[in-house]
């Protein structure tokens, strides 16, 4: 099911990015937003990298580690209908990414692993009980790149 989720990045203004998730399948999908492009703290979690033009190494940014109460609450779930796109607007700058490190052209990359993706019509909240128990089903990885963004 995660293969029906297409991740995108767009430059949405000076020091602003929008991470998007589009359902390219024919069924609605429910997903956990934690550690995904739709997580409000995606930058702080290190899901987004900035690679200066001509370099292979990303800019070092300040990241955090988060412990979240299990199982996820309903506000950590989102359902995306077929053909629908959900976006997460992010402000790029202090304290996560110091502005002096974002000079010139950059390649922006967003990557990670889905924590949970289900067929929305068959999803039961009881399935959230097993998330984090070590019994998880791998939901797949995501990756998107945006070439040549000028900051």
Per residue in 86-131, pLDDT tens?
999 999 886 788 778 888 899 999 999 999 999 999 998 888 887 7
Around Cβ 115, how many Cβ atoms within 10 Å?
A: 20
pLDDT reported for residue 15? 86
Instruction: Collapse the DSSP code of 11 into the 3-class scheme (helix H, G, I; strand E, B; otherwise coil) and give the result.
Output: strand
Hunting for tokens 């984090």 — which residue is that? 132
Average pLDDT over residues 63-86: 94
Strand partners, 150: 105
Architecture of the domain defined by 2-150:
Sandwich (2.60)
Cα–Cα distance between 78 and 132 in angstroms, integer? 19
| 120 touches 79 (CB < 8 A) | yes
- pLDDT at position 95: 76
Domain ranges in the chain are 2-150
């Amino acid at each position: 099911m995660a293969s029906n989720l297409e991740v995108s990045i767009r430059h949405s203004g000076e020091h602003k990015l929008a991470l998007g998730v589009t359902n390219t399948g024919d069924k609605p999908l429910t997903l956990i937003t934690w550690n995904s492009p739709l997580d409000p703290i995606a930058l702080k979690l290190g899901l987004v990298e900035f690679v200066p033009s001509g370099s292979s190494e990303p800019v070092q940014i300040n990241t955090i580690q988060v412990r979240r109460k299990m199982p996820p609450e309903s506000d950590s779930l989102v359902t995306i209908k077929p053909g629908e796109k959900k976006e997460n607007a992010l402000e790029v700058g202090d304290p996560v990414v110091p502005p002096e490190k974002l000079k010139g052209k950059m390649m922006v990359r967003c990557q990670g692993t889905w924590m949970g993706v289900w067929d929305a019509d068959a999803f039961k909240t009881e399935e959230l009980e097993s998330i984090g128990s070590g019994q998880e089903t791998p939901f797949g990885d995501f990756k998107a790149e945006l070439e040549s963004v000028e900051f």
